[in-house]
């Protein structure tokens, strides 16, 4: 259950990647992957982070864990700034935070048995070895629905869903408080996906975990999350504790919602609504980054970056005209710009 206590506070976080070229590897510009993002994650909650490919979801998750250094801003974990931690503090932090990646095959060493893969964090941190280690690994495997027979097998001997369970067991090994789930089920099919999502919910309850759940699939994010944050080109444009399918207030979120395929045949065809590419984060549009695609854009939108404003009950929206727009006619939300790559 989510509490009122903050586990993580992200304040004005920026992560830029330098773009270099030429013989002297001169810095030619920056990819503004995460550009001034502020949000909190409460103890015990799942905060969903959704948005199109390249909008900065993974970079946000990895920067919070300090797997990537932040360019600017603060990341407080239980009040301590992760960006300023010493090596010793960082080792302690690593035990409290972990990550599950999209592709379990790429995140597991093919030469390690499951026992060694799951046991590695326990061994490296001097928590257990020998028989005790084996028992701890077995206990973790059982928590994710695997058993003793799996201990000495290699990753290639498992199905995609089972491999993801191994990764979850490994992420749980040090009993972290916080886990970034980065597209944890997008490489498995729908029936396996549902099982893995339910397992993650059960484990959250059992181990009192807090999740940042990243996905480009709005339905999955909604199913998993207490609150949903929508990201567009390095910025959070909306964050709602409500049902994003019913209460989207940002034109981009509304367009994302309308792009989710629905069983009703009368509404078919709308899934095309977000076709085309997102503009580049190297040279993002001025003002509101969504303005080239937004049907409601005005001159003001081109000039001024909209702040994330609380529209009531913690529902935050970054749009100059939030609450004033008619977002019902979803098929008309986006301007027809042809190929978005040209925007």
Ligand X SMILES: Nc1ncnc2c1ncn2[C@@H]1O[C@H](COP(=O)(O)OP(=O)(O)OP(=O)(O)O)[C@@H](O)[C@H]1O
Instruction: Quote the least distance from Cβ 290 to ligand SF4, whole Å.
Output: 5
The tokens describing 340, both together, are 């978005």
- Please tell me whether residue 232 binds ligand SF4 under the rule CB under 6 A: no
Number of H helices, E strands in the chain: 11, 12
Measured CA to CA, the distance from residue 251 to residue 308 in angstroms comes to 14
Task: Choose the one of ligand X, Mg ion, ligand SF4, none that binds residue 115, judging by a C-beta under 5 to 8 angstroms depending on kind.
Answer: none
Measured CA to CA, the distance from residue 309 to residue 286 in angstroms comes to 19
Site residues for ligand SF4, 293-312, by CB under 6 A, read 294, 296-297, 301, 306
Task: Choose the one of ligand X, Mg ion, ligand SF4, none that binds residue 77, judging by a C-beta under 5 to 8 angstroms depending on kind.
Answer: none
- Please tell me whether residue 279 binds ligand SF4 under the rule CB under 6 A: no
Task: Report the relative pairing of strands 210-215 and 46-50 from DSSP bridges.
Answer: parallel
Which residues of this chain interact with ligand X, rule CB under 6 A? 17, 31, 33, 51, 53-59, 216, 281
Quote the crossing angle between the two packed helices 160-172 and 114-124, to the nearest 10°: 20
Instruction: Quote the least distance from Cβ 169 to ligand X, whole Å.
Output: 23
Task: Choose the one of ligand X, ligand SF4, Mg ion, none that binds residue 297, judging by a C-beta under 5 to 8 angstroms depending on kind.
Answer: ligand SF4
Measured CA to CA, the distance from residue 103 to residue 112 in angstroms comes to 17
- Please tell me whether residue 321 binds ligand SF4 under the rule CB under 6 A: yes
Q: What share of the chain is helix, strand, coil (3-state, %, to 5)?
A: 35, 25, 40
Measured CA to CA, the distance from residue 282 to residue 234 in angstroms comes to 10
Shorter beta-carbon distance to ligand X: residue 116 or 217: 217
- Please tell me whether residue 42 binds ligand SF4 under the rule CB under 6 A: no
Which regions of the chain does DSSP assign to beta strands (E)?
A: 6-21, 26-42, 46-50, 72-77, 80-81, 97-100, 178-182, 210-215, 227-232, 235-240, 309-310, 316-317
Instruction: Quote the least distance from Cβ 48 to Mg ion, whole Å.
Output: 14
Shorter beta-carbon distance to Mg ion: residue 58 or 98: 58
Shorter beta-carbon distance to ligand X: residue 51 or 121: 51
- Judge contact between 84 and 147, C-beta under 8 A: no
Please pick, from the candidates 50, 141, 320, 327, the single residue that binds ligand SF4 as defined by CB under 6 A.
Answer: 320
Which regions of 258-320 does DSSP assign to beta strands (E)?
A: 309-310, 316-317
Instruction: Quote the least distance from Cβ 255 to ligand X, whole Å.
Output: 17
Which residues of this chain interact with Mg ion, rule CB under 5 A? 58
Shorter beta-carbon distance to Mg ion: residue 57 or 250: 57
Instruction: Quote the least distance from Cβ 257 to ligand X, whole Å.
Output: 18
The tokens describing 141, both together, are 């495997």
For 76, phi then psi, to 5°, come to -95, 130
Instruction: Quote the least distance from Cβ 238 to ligand SF4, whole Å.
Output: 10
Give the chain's length: 343
Q: What is the contact mask toward ligand SF4 in residues 238 to 267, using x (rule: CB under 6 A)?
A: ------------xx----------------
Task: Choose the one of Mg ion, ligand X, ligand SF4, none that binds residue 319, judging by a C-beta under 5 to 8 angstroms depending on kind.
Answer: ligand SF4
Instruction: Quote the least distance from Cβ 146 to ligand X, whole Å.
Output: 27
The residue whose two tokens read 């100059």 is 320
Q: Provide the binding-site residues for ligand SF4, judged by CB under 6 A.
A: 250-251, 288, 290-291, 294, 296-297, 301, 306, 319-321
């Amino acid at each position: 259950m989510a509490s009122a206590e903050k586990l993580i506070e992200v304040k004005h976080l920026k992560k830029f990647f330098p773009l270099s070229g030429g013989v002297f590897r001169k810095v030619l510009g920056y990819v503004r992957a995460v550009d001034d993002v502020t949000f909190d994650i409460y103890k015990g909650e799942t905060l969903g982070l959704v948005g199109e490919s390249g909008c900065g979801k993974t970079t946000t998750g990895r920067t919070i864990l300090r797997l990537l250094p932040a360019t600017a801003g603060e990341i407080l974990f239980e009040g301590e700034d992760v960006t300023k931690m010493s090596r010793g503090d960082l080792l302690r932090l690593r035990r409290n935070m972990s990550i599950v990646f999209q592709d379990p095959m790429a995140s597991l060493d093919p030469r390690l048995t499951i026992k060694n893969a799951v046991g590695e964090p326990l061994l490296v941190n001097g928590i257990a070895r020998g028989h005790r280690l084996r028992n701890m690994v077995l206990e973790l495997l059982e928590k994710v629905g695997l058993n003793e027979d799996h201990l000495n097998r290699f990753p290639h001997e498992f199905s995609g869903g089972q491999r993801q369970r191994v990764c979850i067991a490994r992420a749980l090994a040090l009993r972290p408080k916080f886990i970034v789930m980065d597209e944890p089920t997008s490489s498995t099919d729908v029936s396996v996906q549902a099982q893995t999502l339910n397992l993650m919910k059960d484990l959250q309850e059992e181990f009192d975990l807090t999740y940042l759940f990243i996905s480009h699939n709005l339905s999955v994010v909604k199913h998993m999350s207490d609150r949903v944050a929508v990201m567009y080109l390095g910025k959070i444009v909306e964050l709602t504790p409500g049902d994003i399918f019913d209460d989207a207030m940002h034109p981009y979120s509304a367009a994302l919602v309308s792009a989710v395929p629905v069983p009703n045949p009368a509404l078919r065809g709308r899934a095309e609504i977000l076709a085309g590419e997102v503009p580049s984060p190297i040279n993002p549009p001025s003002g509101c980054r969504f303005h080239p695609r937004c049907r409601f854009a005005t001159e003001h939108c081109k000039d001024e970056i909209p702040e994330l404003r609380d529209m009531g009950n913690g529902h935050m929206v970054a749009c100059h005209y939030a609450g004033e727009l008619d977002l019902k006619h979803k098929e008309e939300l986006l301007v027809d710009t042809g190929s978005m790559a040209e925007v």
